Amino acid sequence: MTRSDGVTVLGLDPGTRHFGWGLVRRVGTRMTHVGHGVVSVAGEGPLGERLVAIERALVEVLSSFAPHEASIESMFFAKDASSASKLAHARGVGLLVTARAGLAVFEYPPARVKRTVTGAGRAEKAQVAQMIRIMLGLSVTPPPDAADALAVAVTHLQGRALPGIREPIARAAVHR
Q: Name the catalytic one among 69, 107, 145, 148.
A: 145
Q: Name the catalytic one among 13, 55, 107, 148.
A: 13
pLDDT-derived band of residue 5, with 50, 70 and 90 as boundaries? confident
Q: Name the catalytic one among 69, 73, 107, 148.
A: 73
Distance between CA atoms of residues 91 and 157, nearest Å? 20
Q: Tens digit of pLDDT for each residue in 60-117? A: 999 999 999 999 988 765 567 777 788 899 999 999 999 999 999 999 999 999 999 9
pLDDT at position 60? 98
Is 148 labeled as catalytic in the residue annotation?
A: no
Whole-model pTM: value is 0.88
pLDDT at position 18? 95
Distance between CA atoms of residues 96 and 92, nearest Å? 6
Is 44 labeled as catalytic in the residue annotation?
A: no
Q: Tens digit of pLDDT for each residue in 115-165? A: 999 988 888 999 999 999 999 999 999 999 999 999 999 999 998 655 445
pLDDT at position 82? 75
Does 170 have pLDDT greater than 80? no
Domains in the chain, start-ordered, CATH in brackets? 3-160 (3.30.420.10)
Does 173 have pLDDT greater than 50? no
Is 73 labeled as catalytic in the residue annotation?
A: yes
Q: Tens digit of pLDDT for each residue in 11-64? A: 999 999 999 999 999 999 899 999 999 999 987 889 999 999 999 999 999 999
